[in-house]
Amino acid sequence: MTAMSRPLLGTNAAGRASAFFSEEHDILRDQVRRFVEEEVKPHGDTWESQGFVPRPVLRRMGELGFFGIRYDEAYGGSAMDTLATAVLAEELGRSTYSGFAITALVHTDMASVHLYNAGSAAQRERWMPKVIAGEAICAVAVTEPDAGSDVKGIRTTARQTAGGWVLNGTKMFITNGVHADLYCVAAKSGPLDGGSKAVTMFLVEKGTPGFRVSRALDKHGWRSSDTAELVFEDCLVPHDAILGEEGRGFYAIMRNFQNERIVIGAMAIGEAQAALDLTLAYVKTRRAFGAPLWDKQAIRQRLAMRAAEVEAGRQLVYATAWRDAQGQDVTREVSMLKAYCGELVNAVMYDCLQFHGGMGFMRESTIERMSRDARVQAIGGGATEVMLEEVAKRI
């Protein structure tokens, strides 16, 4: 049977029949949703105050299979497709605790993908079972104080010696940076002005001499996600700590960005939908001028338009994930959805906070936290302007 003639088995996040999804995706969505209701929402505020997600929670996600949905069964994964990733990201985004969501999603879809896609058999056999079980948590360290959008501009160096590679440099804004066990680190193994062919990825374990977390960073949002600055000072890693081939790191980063951006888009759609849901509930009960706010056409129509835009973004995410799963080149659509969803989630948060009135500005309201969390979605993983340049090259 061709994909086009598949029966409508699955449902999307809004409970509508969707040709993109199978029964297996539905089961995953239900499992993640149940986990979020029972094991995330009751504790999210505590994690926000302490600045990280406790390790037992991540291990529990491993036990439930959420960290292995794209990985080989041989390592304990379930070998599902890009749509399953979109389901996971969307449902974690719907939790309203995006700091928690990004902690898990960096591990599964932004960092461990480097190990899985480029790692040697020995590296994969050693680490993948622990990664999937949530026993070893991953971070990816590309950004530096002087190079973010411009990945080729990184200045961390990797010099080959008789005893291995020596890393020197500083990494900035690294998610899971404080608590991770395993870091996929980009460094220049070639000349600093050597462009894309000078970049190589390395696997660095926590505790390697010369590698330290120099500080935990204090953020505007995503407060339950730990974010660090990392320093490498004559950090010696073995010859076989290279991830993939020497000089291929830039291409690995660009390839993995495609998955990362689908994830950020799906997460943004989950967040936007959750914000709309809680705002609809609020405006239907909050009264002003003798009637619920919902009776004001201006409010109703704004929310209706935002609902339409969120639905459009959701369909773009699903269609792109589906095409990615078919092995098609989706660079154009991925860049579009990252730009679109990153901006949209912020516009939705602005309106939803507005319709909560003064309460929306209070720390005790969910929408206040959500609007802080959303801000970075237009910056991290490729700023909107950078994404639009990628789109512009392809239209």
Active site members: 260
What are the backbone dihedrals phi and psi of residue 281, each rounded to the nearest 5 degrees, phi first? -60, -40
**Total residues binding ligand FAD (CB under 6 A):** 22
Residue 284, CA atoms < 13 Å, CB-side half-sphere: 7
Q: Does 68 bind ligand FAD (CB under 6 A)?
A: no
Task: Identify which range of 123-131, 204-212, 307-315, 383-391 contacts ligand FAD by CB under 6 A.
Answer: 383-391
* Residue window 139-178: x/- pattern of binding to ligand FAD, with contact defined by CB under 6 A: xxxxx----xx-----------------------xxx---
In whole angstroms, the minimum distance from the beta carbon of 109 to ligand FAD comes to 11
The Cα–Cα gap between 199 and 186 comes to 7
Q: Nearer Cβ to ligand FAD, position 123 or 176?
A: 176
Give the residue at shortest CB distance from ligand FAD.
Answer: 148
CA distance 346 to 356: 15
Cβ-Cβ contacts under 8 Å for 60 (sequence gap 6 or more) = 35, 39, 134
Residue of the chain from 41, 126, 206, 219 that contacts ligand FAD (CB under 6 A)? 219
89-118 footprint of ligand FAD as x/- string (CB under 6 A): -----------------x------------
State the alpha helices, DSSP H only, in the chain.
Answer: 23-35, 44-50, 55-63, 82-93, 98-105, 112-118, 121-133, 249-285, 297-325, 331-355, 366-374, 384-393
Q: How many CB atoms lie within 10 A of CB 216?
A: 15
Nearer to ligand FAD, 106 or 187 (CB): 106
Nearest approach in angstroms of CB 352 to ligand FAD is 21
Task: Provide, rounded to whole angstroms, the least separation between the CB of residue 105 and ligand FAD.
Answer: 10
Residue 217 DSSP label: P
Q: Given CA atoms 105, 108, 109, 111 in this order, what sign does their dihedral have? A: positive
- CA distances to 91, 128, 186, 263 from 183, rounded to whole Å, are 26, 13, 10, 20
Least separation in angstroms between CB 329 and ligand FAD: 22
Residues forming contacts to ligand FAD in the complex (CB under 6 A) are: 106, 139-143, 148-149, 173-175, 219, 222, 227, 376, 379-381, 383, 385-386, 389
